[in-house]
Amino acid sequence: MTPHFDLIGMAVTDMACTLDFYRRLGLAIPPGAERESHVEITLDSGVRLAWDTVDMIRGFDPHWTAPTGSPRANLAFRCADPAEVDRWYAELTGAGHHGHLAPWDAFWGQRYAVLHDPDGNGVDLFAPLKSR
């Protein structure tokens, strides 16, 4: 049997701030989860998304250090339409989250925007552009 892709795990420095960001994107994260050192949810696709505090990670990997530089991977969220890309970007940046690339019409046929979550991980918002 081959391995089955099941979980995306992310290290966080401030669980409450991180969960607030992802709740704003509509993820169903249980109330009170911000007090935990490990939180995971199952997405509609069946894939799990998990967050661990730096202290939790260092509990089993004492030499762990945060990566530096630009993110090498991004989580991408498909929006219903181009206007939703703009709306979510405005809502998240309005709440104080870092907008990396403001919404634009990409040459590959999508409305696209890039934010950073509280730990600097890339979060993309996209929607197909209507046929012209």
pLDDT tens readout for residues 52-94: 999 999 998 999 998 888 777 899 999 999 999 999 999 999 9
Q: Is the Cα dihedral 93, 98, 102, 106 positive or negative?
A: negative
The CA distance from 96 to 93, in Å, is 5
Angle at 34 between CA 44 and CA 39, to 5 degrees: 45
C-alpha closest to that of 111 among 122, 101, 100, 120: 101
pLDDT digits 0-9 by tens, 25-56? 999 999 999 999 999 999 999 999 999 999 99
Contacts with 1 (C-beta within 8 Å, 6 or more apart), sequence order? none
65 phi, psi to nearest 5 deg: -130, 150
**What pTM value is reported for the model?**
0.88
User: In the structure, what pLDDT confidence band is assigned to residue 131 with cuts at 50, 70 and 90?
Assistant: low
Q: Which long-range contacts (CB under 8 A, 24 or more apart) does 26-33 make?
A: none
**Banded model confidence at residue 123, pLDDT cuts 50, 70, 90:** very high
The alpha carbon torsion through 87, 89, 91, 93 (nearest 10 deg) reads -160
In terms of pLDDT, which residue wins out, 132 or 18?
Answer: 18
pLDDT at 1: 83
Residue 45 phi, psi dihedral angles, 5° rounding = -75, -10
pLDDT at 127: 96
What are 101-111's pLDDT values in tens digits? 999 999 999 99
What was the pLDDT predicted at 128?
96
Give the pLDDT confidence score for residue 66 in this predicted structure: 86
